[in-house]
Amino acid sequence: MPNPVPTPSPQASLRALQAMLRARHPLAALDVFHAETGDAFKINLPGFQPVFMVGPEAARFVLVEGRDELRWRNAADPVVDLLRHGVLVEDGESHDELRKLMNPSLHRRMLAGYVEAMWGATDEIISKWADGAVVDMLVEMRKITLLILTRTLFAVDFAPELERLFQPVIDNIRYISPGLWMLWRGVPRLGYRRSLAALDEYLYRIIAERRRALTGSDVEPADMLGVLICAGLDDDLIRDQLLTMLIAGHDTSTALLAWSFYLLGTHPEACQRVQAEARALEPGTIPDITKINNLEYTGWTIKEALRLYPPIHLGSRLAAADLHFQDYVIPAGTRVVYSIYLTQRHPDFWDAPGTFRPERHGTSERQVPYSWLAFGGGPRNCIGGAFGQVEAKLVLAQVFQRFDLELVEKHVRPHMGATLEPHPGVRMKVRERRS
């Protein structure tokens, strides 16, 4: 006889509340629920009752075996309101067709051609750092990743718009972040419409400009914007994909890089190894993709930062039918969440799960499939996973090649925005290296 998914006991809920208040972030409460209730538990808040699924078996169920009965689109979520018909919030054929169109510009073979734009964008931002200044890596990385995303995938230069549109980007990210709307759907969301109008004006403008440039041309564009226009999509549908990429493609990389700097700032030995790899690259020359790929320890550092602080710390779905997982039944209409954060810190699958140890991603320790899930998994895994990893390696390498860094504020906690961010930021003193 199948059972309903258990809810944590009142005692566990009290301990979760205490843990959350001590750590000042809700992930601490999830840790308590997981330890006390097991790999499936249901949270019972007024208006918000998701089932949390944890561990490789649960992840495989959500991402592969049960995926046909799980919808990505939940009409009640602000992300659907924002992205409308973006690939991230579509299901079925409509999703698959969009993904097929967008895949080629994010394919591994395209990455070699993006290195120069990635290097140039990084150079542009870090060249403004004054020797000895304190910079917030959360802010600086956002500038870099916005420039990289737009130059590579839209073939436009976002630099002239960076200052004007930086705040509207942040406002829209806030709009889709967890908040009171989860408990009370009618909560007023002020200020966001104006910011969205500013982004929309920009996106529709670059679509129109590119349409004009492509009219009568027989050149087949390889960038995503050009591909979407040539495929015959209308302006609204293209806008939805561009906004999806703009948000999903830079906010995640920003969080990843900011956490990487934080972790390296608190782990001097690992930092020295990343520095050594960066400084072995030829100064003043843009490394090619092979050299970037060969930054082995830097790659492990990125994977370990993604394990401890996954920018997307959960995947949310809506059960379209009654689901049967292990001994449990999950009724249709339930919000089902697979927790990347808890799975990647699961004591059954990771030694010293809370310890930062990049070496674990070397060949010596075998990892159970679906225990590392930072890019999701199955047919709808992250479309930009390869892009994001090359970008992160390249940015770290360039920064460490040119600067010595010192963390000036060590008290940082994870904040659940649209991504899991280091809060209140990652403030570092930057000293230019003279070689």
Q: Which is nearer to ligand HEM, 8 or 419 (CB)?
A: 419
Q: Which is nearer to ligand HEM, 19 or 392 (CB)?
A: 392
Q: How many CB atoms lie within 10 A of CB 188?
A: 7
Compose the 335-374 pattern: x for residues touching ligand HEM by CB under 6 A, - for all others. Answer: ---------------------------------------x
Closest contact distance (angstroms) between CB of 157 and ligand HEM is 17
CA distance 74 to 81: 10
CA distance 5 to 33: 13
Token representation of residue 182: 């989860």
Q: Does 420 bind ligand HEM (CB under 6 A)?
A: no
Among 33, 387, 400, 403, the residue binding ligand HEM under the rule CB under 6 A is: 387
Beta strands, E only, 99-163: 134-136
Compose the 84-103 pattern: x for residues touching ligand HEM by CB under 6 A, - for all others. Answer: ---xx----------x----
Dump the DSSP string for 20-74.
HHHHTSTHHHHHHHHHHH-SEEE--BTTB-PEEE-SHHHHHIIIIITGGGEES--
Closest contact distance (angstroms) between CB of 62 and ligand HEM is 8
Q: Does 37 bind ligand HEM (CB under 6 A)?
A: no
Among 168, 384, 417, 425, the residue binding ligand HEM under the rule CB under 6 A is: 384
Asked whether the beta carbons of 319 and 336 are under 8 A apart, the reply is yes
Q: Which amino acid is at 396?
A: L
Closest contact distance (angstroms) between CB of 296 and ligand HEM is 18
Q: Which amino acid is at 63?
A: L
What is the size of the binding site for ligand HEM (CB under 6 A)?
Answer: 24
Q: Does 390 bind ligand HEM (CB under 6 A)?
A: no
Q: Does 388 bind ligand HEM (CB under 6 A)?
A: yes
User: Which segment (21-29, 326-334, 343-351, 379-387) binds ligand HEM by CB under 6 A?
Assistant: 379-387
Q: Which is nearer to ligand HEM, 16 or 144 (CB)?
A: 144
Q: How many CB atoms lie within 10 A of CB 272?
A: 13
Q: Which is nearer to ligand HEM, 19 or 150 (CB)?
A: 150
Q: Which of residues 176-215 bind ligand HEM (CB under 6 A)?
A: none
Token representation of residue 406: 């010192």
Residue written as token pair 């050009």: 226
Compose the 104-143 pattern: x for residues touching ligand HEM by CB under 6 A, - for all others. Answer: --x-------------------------------------
Asked whether the beta carbons of 326 and 74 are under 8 A apart, the reply is no
CA distance 175 to 54: 27
In 3D space, the residue among 46, 28, 35, 48 whose CA is nearest the CA of residue 9 turns out to be: 35
Tell me phi and psi for residue 432, to 5 degrees. -70, 135
Q: Which is nearer to ligand HEM, 141 or 374 (CB)?
A: 374
CA distance 62 to 421: 25
Residues 6 or more apart in contact with residue 10 via CB below 8 angstroms? none
Angle separating helix axes 235-266 and 162-176, nearest 10 degrees: 90
Strand-pair partners of 300: none
Compose the 293-332 pattern: x for residues touching ligand HEM by CB under 6 A, - for all others. Answer: -------------x----xx--x-----------------
Q: Which is nearer to ligand HEM, 249 or 299 (CB)?
A: 249
Closest contact distance (angstroms) between CB of 433 and ligand HEM is 27
Among 375, 393, 417, 428, the residue binding ligand HEM under the rule CB under 6 A is: 375
Q: Which is nearer to ligand HEM, 100 or 128 (CB)?
A: 100
Q: Which is nearer to ligand HEM, 16 or 98 (CB)?
A: 98
Q: Which is nearer to ligand HEM, 245 or 258 (CB)?
A: 245
* Chain-centroid distance, C-alpha 23: 23
Asked whether the beta carbons of 147 and 162 are under 8 A apart, the reply is yes
Closest contact distance (angstroms) between CB of 21 and ligand HEM is 28
Strand pairing of 134-136 and 427-432? antiparallel
Q: Does 226 bind ligand HEM (CB under 6 A)?
A: no
Q: Which of residues 239-268 bind ligand HEM (CB under 6 A)?
A: 244-245, 248-249, 252-253, 256
Q: Which is nearer to ligand HEM, 148 or 430 (CB)?
A: 148
* Chain-centroid distance, C-alpha 409: 23
Closest contact distance (angstroms) between CB of 145 and ligand HEM is 8
Number of H-type helices and E-type strands within the chain: 16, 13
Token representation of residue 211: 């349409």
In 3D space, the residue among 259, 425, 423, 426 whose CA is nearest the CA of residue 356 turns out to be: 259
List residues near ligand HEM by CB under 6 A. 87-88, 99, 106, 244-245, 248-249, 252-253, 256, 306, 311-312, 315, 374-376, 380, 382-384, 387-388
